[in-house]
Amino acid sequence: MKYLTRRDFFRRTAFGILPALALPHLAHSSLSFSSTDVEVETSYGKLRGLRTEGVNIYKGVPYAGSVSGERRFLKPAALKPWTGVREATRLGPPSIQPPNQTYGISEPDPAEDCLTLNIWTPANDDKKRPVMVYNHGGGFRTGSAGSVAQDGSNLARMYDVVVVATNHRLGLLGYLYLDEIAGDEYAGSGNRGIQDIAIALKWVNENISAFGGDPDNVMIFGESGGGAKTSCLYAMPEAAPYFHKASIESGPGVMMKTADVAAETTELLLKRLGIARTDWRKLLKLPPSVLLDAQEQLQKMGDLSQIAGFHGIGAAGKGGFGPVVDGVVLSTHPFDPIAPSLSKEKPLQVGWNEDEFIFFAMVSGDTEAFQLTQEKLYQRIESILGDKAQLVVDTYREAYPKATPTQLFIAIRSILIMGLGSITIAERKTKQGGAPAYLYNFGYKSDLKVPGTDYEFGSMHALDIPFKFHNIDNVLDKSGHRSSGMAGNRPERFAASDNMCQLWTSFARTSVPSAKEQPTWPAYNLDNRPTMRIDSSCEVIYDRYATELSMWRKALS
């Protein structure tokens, strides 16, 4: 059964768009802080960053060489050492992508040569702090390490950790599968974007001790597309030596694109560009703008109906670009049919936000979704699930008798997009019998309103990002002003953010998530299935969604 029949579901909503949208801003004012230069010696040369408000910050640090020109679609050239002191005070360029999809302050225009990272650390000393390496959202198509929502300053300062975020290749430039037409040199070409992250992790392993971090205690984490990237890294031999635990957040990458589907997408691209298979090297000469335009046209015509449900968000059909199960970089799907054996002893967090779909409806301009009648609810679910719609709607109506049709719609779509895949990952990791898995729901409700409606953001997709980085108040926006952003106005947001930051940084530090004055978070098991609900006051819920899960297993079988 193809349970997602609307071909443009995720094409329209770009399933990991970074959340620094054109949202209503709170009252704000321009503020500035004094900074002093701070230098550090890496294995490639000296860097000069800035110390601001108790944090040493290094931006735009190169971790690999060129990926343009003749290096396009190849692993990057080796990074060359430099002499003197290299400035590391400005963000590096994001990967080539559509316009207006990045949200950093004074961020350069996208470029092919984009392999840089940012580091936030309390001090360049020998303290051996846990290291948290973040994979940005934006699917595999957009985003950057420079977004204001995921600035690592507060997390580093308040919780004594080292935070790292990377730029890496996206879209066609990161995931065009050429293995079957370009020869051995291009083996693994369909996974260059996640290979870039693995190379960044190797750089971290070799250099992070100079920044006060512990190379033997590295956590990888990411939200939405970043969660799917983290899923791939968790199953990737090239990355395995360089991290020790992981957190997959609203981005369950259970399955990825198959080589057959990736090869079909390559054929579609060549046809659109008028290039014969034997002339594929012409792709190396085309301007990035031409490739980007072709990528976006394929995205519109592509069949993405296989995304979501128990398969997670990575198994897109032809037309899109993302990681490929190629037998070279990824030997298997990350969590299908089982959890990856190479990470058996690496603890894992996985979870999603309670109201994920509010975000997707908002960014696609679907204001009708926030004022549904019972009839409209049924029609919408039928358009996705066909003859299973009645079972689904009836189950949710019985489970939530006081809910409005819109609330039921959001609950159904949210678990279908991100929840079922997250539960699948927790179950398969637990069945493996190695290190524990910890399942969560982020439940804090923002009081900001979806533009054009009276409906609140709730716990929508991406709302967790500013909370886990403690960027919920007095935070610089892209224009250099300060506000609380999409976290909203409720004073409880501070406690919710502190709880989430404590859980994440304690997991990074000890491999066991905990927060003061909050309940103990039990490891997931297949008997009572504990889930930590994260809010201003946290709660462990056992066998959450039991009724709904039983139904979904029947409906999607």
Catalytically active residues are: 224
Cβ neighbours around 77 below 10 Å, total: 16
DSSP string, 2-65: -----TTHHHHH-TT--S--SPPPPS--B----EEEEEEEETTEEEEEEEETTEEEEEEEE-S-
444, β-bridge pairs: none
Which pair of tokens denotes residue 255?
């399955």
CA distance 355 to 46: 45
Mapped to the 3 state alphabet, what secondary structure does 177-240 carry?
Answer: CCHHHHCHHHCCHHHHHHHHHHHHHHHHHHHHHHHCEEEEEEEEEEECHHHHHHHHHHCCCCCH
What are the percentages of helix, strand and coil residues in the chain, rounded to 5?
Answer: 40, 20, 45
CA distance 35 to 52: 5
Determine contact, residues 250/356, Cβ cutoff 8 Å. Answer: yes
Closest residue by Cα to residue 514 from 523, 524, 504 = 504
Which pair of tokens denotes residue 251?
């981005």
Cβ neighbours around 51 below 10 Å, total: 17
Q: 524: which DSSP letter?
A: P
Which residue has tokens 């997009």?
417
CA distance 503 to 517: 12
Cβ neighbours around 496 below 10 Å, total: 24
> Dihedrals φ, ψ of 442, to 5°?
-90, 125
Q: 109: which DSSP letter?
A: P
- The CA distances from residue 332 to 247, 305, 325, 420, in Å, are 20, 21, 6, 20
CA distance 92 to 491: 35
247, β-bridge pairs: 221, 349
Determine contact, residues 448/457, Cβ cutoff 8 Å. Answer: yes
